[in-house]
Amino acid sequence: MTAAPNEPRIRPATPADTPLILALIRELAEYERLAHEAVADEAGLAAQLFGPTPRAEVLIAEVGGAPAGFALFFHNFSTFVGKPGLYLEDLFVRPAFRGLGLGKRLMVRLAQIAVERDCGRFEWSVLDWNTPAIDFYRSLGAVGMDDWTVQRVSGEALRALAARSDI
């Protein structure tokens, strides 16, 4: 049985999707009020996603063949569980396609991948002001890790740390 022409579908991204993935990343950055931080380019993204050592994977959501959203994820590792984890870096559905269950379909497919790959965890971060996303994740059974805070070293601070010779 084939799917109806407008039936939503989730598929793995291919190298030909690189321009679309970059466009979706930029749309997400706009939504998150972080467009100034979205400095990725097509060549770098293609190398990281589809080069000899892929660093992340992408699922594309489509409706009637039209690109509607994406999920970008990669594996991390839990020493406590002794297994890999699946980390969702980005989940985004274009506004015109919201309300069709695409976010839920992407999350279910990611959970299936995590189970298929024997992951001990499936986790992600969400901006604390993004109440619709937090409510959505809670509806799927997610639990906030409120005792943990994200720490980050990037840009010049990262270069300075890497260059320290006083240790």
Is residue 144 situated within a structural domain? Answer: yes
Strand partners, 86: 75, 122
Q: Name the 3-class secondary structure at 89.
A: strand
pTM confidence score: 0.91
Would the pLDDT of 42 be above 70? yes
What digits encode the pLDDT tens for the residues 129-165? Answer: 999 999 999 999 999 999 998 899 999 999 999 999 9
User: With the C-alpha atoms ordered 125, 81, 119, 46, is the resulting torsion angle positive or negative?
Assistant: positive
Strand 121-124 relative to strand 83-93: parallel, antiparallel, unpaired?
A: parallel
Is residue 113 situated within a structural domain? Answer: yes
Residue 137: active-site member: yes
Is residue 117 situated within a structural domain? Answer: yes
Is residue 2 situated within a structural domain? Answer: no
Is residue 157 situated within a structural domain? Answer: yes
What are the DSSP calls for 94-126, one per residue? Answer: -GGGTTSSHHHHHHHHHHHHHHHTT-SEEEE--
User: Count of domains in the chain?
Assistant: 1
Residue 117 token pair: 């790959």
Is residue 124 situated within a structural domain? Answer: yes
> What's the rounded Cα separation, in Å, for the pair 70 and 58?
7
CATH number of the domain enclosing 123: 3.40.630.30
Is residue 1 situated within a structural domain? Answer: no
The single residue of 70, 73, 92, 137 carrying the catalytic annotation is 137
Report whether 88 contacts 37 (CB < 8 A): no
Is residue 52 situated within a structural domain? Answer: yes
Q: Name the 3-class secondary structure at 23.
A: helix
- Domain containing residue 71: 8-163
* Single-letter amino acid, residue 47: A
Q: How confident is the model at residue 4 (pLDDT cuts 50, 70, 90)?
A: low
Q: How confident is the model at residue 167 (pLDDT cuts 50, 70, 90)?
A: confident
